[in-house]
Amino acid sequence: MAPKVKLPKPGELSKIEFKNPATDWMDTPVEFKPGTYCWGAKEKDLLTLGLPNPRQWSPADEDWKIPDGWESTIIEGIAERLSKYRSFKVFMDICVRCGACADKCHFYIATGDPKNMPVLRAELLRSVYKKYFTKSGKFLGRLAGARELNMDVLKEWWSYFFQCTECRRCSVFCPYGIDQAEVTIIGRELLNLVGLNIDWIAGPAAACYMKGNHLGLEPHAITGNIESMVDDIEDITGIRVNPTFNRKGAEIMFVTPSGDLLGEPGIQTCMGYLMLFHELGLDYTWSTYASEGGNFGFFTSNDMAKRLNYKIYAEAKRLGVKYIIGGECGHMWRVLNQYMDTWHGPADFLEVPVSPITGTVFENAKSTKMIHISEFTADLIKHKKLNLDPSRNDHLKVTYHDSCNPSRGMGLLDEPREIIKAVCNNFYEMPENTIREKTFCCGSGSGLNASENMEQRMRGGFPRANAVKYVREKHGVNMLANICAVDRAALPALMDYWNPGVGVTGVTELVGNALVMKGEKERTTNLRFEDLPGKGGNE
């Protein structure tokens, strides 16, 4: 139930204290205000995933229904992870509070809340680590920055570890290379030990576990959705593309985030994939089983991420493909590029990816055997294998948002730019300190793209939107391109609030529009059924 609002009397209004109480961070308990947090994980989803303490609860309630003895569960959880992950141990010990990371977090920048400084966010956990795992903390307590674990601390963890999008911008600036995302990952793992996840993560993870993808699309829904895209492509180009599903013996398996199969503007990006692959005559297949590239298990725990990732190699093996191409997604690529090989590799049954069109060997994916659609497309463009008409995108003034994980997690910086420059005539970069490795997060990553926390998302995305605003005012930019499904889902709202009139597109949608396909009819609309410049199809 929403908290009762007491209307102040007129006399009280003039006595408002405008300054915040200057309490130390340890003495400032967290408040849960609607719009600034995500709903708690549902009982049914935790049951599906076999996670501890399934029950109905709400973060706004005083009682979070945590079982007795939870303190030891958490402390033992910390101990286990300290022994298992050397990085966690190092990150707990090594920080010298230099402050280089402090003002690099989009949530801190937009809220001014010191607990959103990466150093302090880590300190929320580090202070407990000190109390129970270091001599100085045990004896000196608060003097050494240590504190007892109690319910207020647990709630604070929940609030702030679900206010970090694991974007790793702070880690770019840390002289010690502390990866704050990993601290958040461990923090969330610990919270999950006592049943504290958010609905927007546990729900999709449970759907993925049962149906193969976050949206819970069953095989017939996947094929049905793609078929309707095929119809739309035929209306626009006169060409009927023929995707295949679960086809054994195909050379390539294609895996994309399920967000591309439902909802705009993801589906237009997906239409771009379908058109590109058809034009190339690529021997590829979709899988209705490995139907999710993304991995919301990654926002829950290492084990859950590993479990949900398993199906990708398993399906590649079952279908007998040579290698895998993956669609435009963000965190999906951090998982695939940095974890999949360790969890389920080596994928000896696959071959090192070689583009059948250009002969390029993707040595970078020698071990994972999985390449990013942007690498694949940029290679085609470099070898001039695509017939492109960039003037079809002339009504667009495009800027490019580096999605956090492909840029910082795998160094995919130039490929998308090369593609955009080949398919659009008007491309403008945002300022230097807001792109490439220093890119600002959309504010909704790592499972925070729910709608109940819209205010929080608008804050987190403000630094990104502010840079877009600059190029909009300076160059008239009206389209924000990206290579991430969460971006495509989250950025439209961010743009509507901060920069009305700026649209959002996947890079491959731009490719689909510019691609001149063999035997196509004269196009009058783009993939959104909007008139092409000077063609007036719907007029």
Partner 1 sequence: MDIKFNEILKEKKSTISKRWLDTMIASYPKDDSGFLMSQKDRFANPVGYTFTKGLDGILEVLIKDEDSAESLQFLNDIIKVRAIQDFTPAKAMAFIFQLKTIVREELRKEIRQNQIYVELLEFESKIDDLALNAFDIYVKCREQIYELRTDELKRMTFTLLKKANLMSEIPDPDPESEPKDQN
Tell me how far apart the alpha carbons of residues 199 and 196 are, in angstroms, rounded to a whole number.
10
Of 206, 98, 126, 265, nearest in space to 447 by CA: 206
Tell me how far apart the alpha carbons of residues 11 and 535 are, in angstroms, rounded to a whole number.
64
Which phi and psi (to 5°) does residue 396 adopt?
-105, 140
DSSP 3-state of 253: strand
Residues within the interface to partner 1 (CB under 8 A): 8, 13, 16, 18-23, 28, 33, 35-36, 99, 102-103, 108-115, 117, 224-225, 228, 262-264, 267, 431, 433-434, 451-452, 454-455, 458-459, 462-463, 466-467, 470, 489, 492-493, 496-498
Nearer to partner 1, 103 or 303 (CB): 103
Show the beta-strand stretches assigned E in 376-509: 398-400, 479-482, 503-506
Nearer to partner 1, 273 or 339 (CB): 273
Structure tokens belonging to residue 11: 């006399």
With a CB cutoff of 8 Å and minimum separation 6, the contacts of 464 are 106, 401, 434, 439, 440, 441, 442, 443, 494
Tell me how far apart the alpha carbons of residues 400 and 398 are, in angstroms, rounded to a whole number.
7
Tell me how far apart the alpha carbons of residues 322 and 204 are, in angstroms, rounded to a whole number.
29
Which phi and psi (to 5°) does residue 500 adopt?
-55, 140
Tell me how far apart the alpha carbons of residues 289 and 294 are, in angstroms, rounded to a whole number.
13
C-alpha distances in angstroms, 82 versus 58, 141, 302? 30, 20, 14
CA-atom Rg of the chain in angstroms: 24
Nearer to partner 1, 30 or 388 (CB): 30
182-194: b or e for each residue (b if 16 or more CB lie within 10 Å)?
A: bbbbbbbbbbbbb
Nearer to partner 1, 198 or 458 (CB): 458
We find the least distance from the C-beta atom of residue 496 to partner 1, in angstroms, to be 6
We find the least distance from the C-beta atom of residue 79 to partner 1, in angstroms, to be 32
We find the least distance from the C-beta atom of residue 138 to partner 1, in angstroms, to be 27
Nearer to partner 1, 1 or 22 (CB): 22
We find the least distance from the C-beta atom of residue 165 to partner 1, in angstroms, to be 16
We find the least distance from the C-beta atom of residue 325 to partner 1, in angstroms, to be 23
DSSP 3-state of 339: coil
Tell me how far apart the alpha carbons of residues 219 and 288 are, in angstroms, rounded to a whole number.
5
8 Å CB contact between 184 and 164: yes
Nearer to partner 1, 374 or 508 (CB): 508
Count CA within 13 A, CB hemisphere, residue 487: 31
Nearer to partner 1, 452 or 520 (CB): 452
We find the least distance from the C-beta atom of residue 294 to partner 1, in angstroms, to be 15
We find the least distance from the C-beta atom of residue 104 to partner 1, in angstroms, to be 8
We find the least distance from the C-beta atom of residue 19 to partner 1, in angstroms, to be 5
Tell me how far apart the alpha carbons of residues 429 and 417 are, in angstroms, rounded to a whole number.
9
Nearer to partner 1, 426 or 453 (CB): 453
Nearer to partner 1, 434 or 526 (CB): 434
Within 4-117, residue ranges assigned H as helices are: 10-13, 43-49, 70-84, 86-94, 106-111
Structure tokens belonging to residue 46: 């935790």
Please, which residues bridge with residue 121 across strands?
Answer: none
Tell me how far apart the alpha carbons of residues 299 and 302 are, in angstroms, rounded to a whole number.
8
Nearer to partner 1, 195 or 503 (CB): 503
8 Å CB contact between 161 and 191: yes
We find the least distance from the C-beta atom of residue 96 to partner 1, in angstroms, to be 16
We find the least distance from the C-beta atom of residue 467 to partner 1, in angstroms, to be 6
Tell me how far apart the alpha carbons of residues 258 and 354 are, in angstroms, rounded to a whole number.
25
We find the least distance from the C-beta atom of residue 58 to partner 1, in angstroms, to be 18
We find the least distance from the C-beta atom of residue 22 to partner 1, in angstroms, to be 4
With a CB cutoff of 8 Å and minimum separation 6, the contacts of 348 are none
We find the least distance from the C-beta atom of residue 443 to partner 1, in angstroms, to be 11
DSSP 3-state of 4: coil
We find the least distance from the C-beta atom of residue 497 to partner 1, in angstroms, to be 6
Nearer to partner 1, 35 or 501 (CB): 35
Nearer to partner 1, 215 or 282 (CB): 215
Nearer to partner 1, 293 or 353 (CB): 293
8 Å CB contact between 532 and 524: yes
Nearer to partner 1, 199 or 452 (CB): 452
